[in-house]
Structure 1
Amino acid sequence: MFIGLALGELASAAPTSGGLYFWTYKYASPDWRNLLSWIVGYSNTMGNIAGVASIEWGCAVQLMAAVSIGSNLTFTPTTGQIFGVYAALLVLNGIVSSTATRLIARLQGLYIVLNVLLCLSIIIALPASTPAEFKNTASYTFTGFVNLNGWSSGFAVVLSFLAPLWTIGGFDGPIHISEEASNASTAIPWSIVSAIGIASILGWGELAHFLIVSSYFYGD
């Protein structure tokens, strides 16, 4: 949230699609601004590219898993088939992103509602449909530590920060459409802070409920 507040403050003072690299150039020392702006700009760009790629790949895997489950596991997707769906999703995203701003805004509103409803349905349905004997205790859920990989426990803790880092990588998303937004100096900071707040609450709720019922799916 502190990162989001800082980004919101900068977006309010200087709303521009350049965002991070522009602010770096504007506020950095004249001796370092060119190098720092170049580093920030390219790292931000690579992060956005990797973020979109990871989202589409995850979506492709889930879609093919749904097809496999729907076929009663008679269909097993190959890596090539999953990659084909992944490529199609990238093209579809590019087409949608190239449409009129008004249409994208309406789609965003629809997707926000669907995402919130999906999160709430998971939070409600998981504990309601899991037998009581398979639910973990609150003590285990919130204080237990289980290392299921081959790394040391200390490094496993470090790896666990990859998920929040992946989320933080998208905090600056609204900034890059500042020049398409109405009243950007207010709308952009509000969108950043509200998105982080809502995602934190719903994300924490989902993860907590996944952990509560994890023994039902993975065993003790």
Structure 2
Amino acid sequence: MSTAPILDAAAAVETLADLAAATDRVIVGLTGPPAVGKSTAADQLARGCRERGIRTVVVPMDGFHLAQAVLDERGWAPVKGAPHTFDALGYVELLSRIRSERDRTVWAPAFDRSLEEPIAGAIEVAPDTQVVVTEGNYLLLPDEPWSELPRLLDAIWYVETPDELRRERLIERHRSYGRSLAEASQRALGSDERNADLVRSTRERADAILLLP
């Protein structure tokens, strides 16, 4: 059983505010299984920080999905979302730049869910950015280059929500892409669930557990 502290959204914003007051830039990662609510949590924390006047940007790991054409060419489309379907080294390098290049803007990619494609140069991390919240499935994997991430981040929090709700969200997400209920369920309970098991195996390495309703 993890001994990491438990945070709710309000406590997480308080923690970010305290970290931001102690230094000129904080980078905190949110990790957890697919559809657990990482993007929602990141946006919620960023909004809470901005309400306090803290300049905050969200940088998702999903911007480093390999292009769909690459996945199709290599036969990886059926397991899109697995660790090898991301440009992990590119993600590490971006966070290293955000950490070290403080006197100029760093541009980060976003991920367009309507297109299911990454969009380069979509997110501005300006020199005056105080808090960067990054989120993705594999921030605590022990394998290289993912294993470089903890040294680049001030903290990594593991996001949790009830598994039944998470799977329902995942099925609905796949259906929104035009898949039938059977296809969506097969994907959610197949390759996505294998990815979820992998992410759950990293939970003990988190600095805190962020509980979502």
Answer whether TM exceeds 0.5 for this pair.
no
Bigger Rg over Cα: 1
Structure with the higher fraction of residues in strand conformation: 2
Task: From the two aligned structures, give the one with the greater helix fraction.
Answer: 1
* Structure number with higher relative contact order (C-alpha < 8 Å, ≥ 6 residues apart): 1
Q: TM-score, normalised by structure 1?
A: 0.29
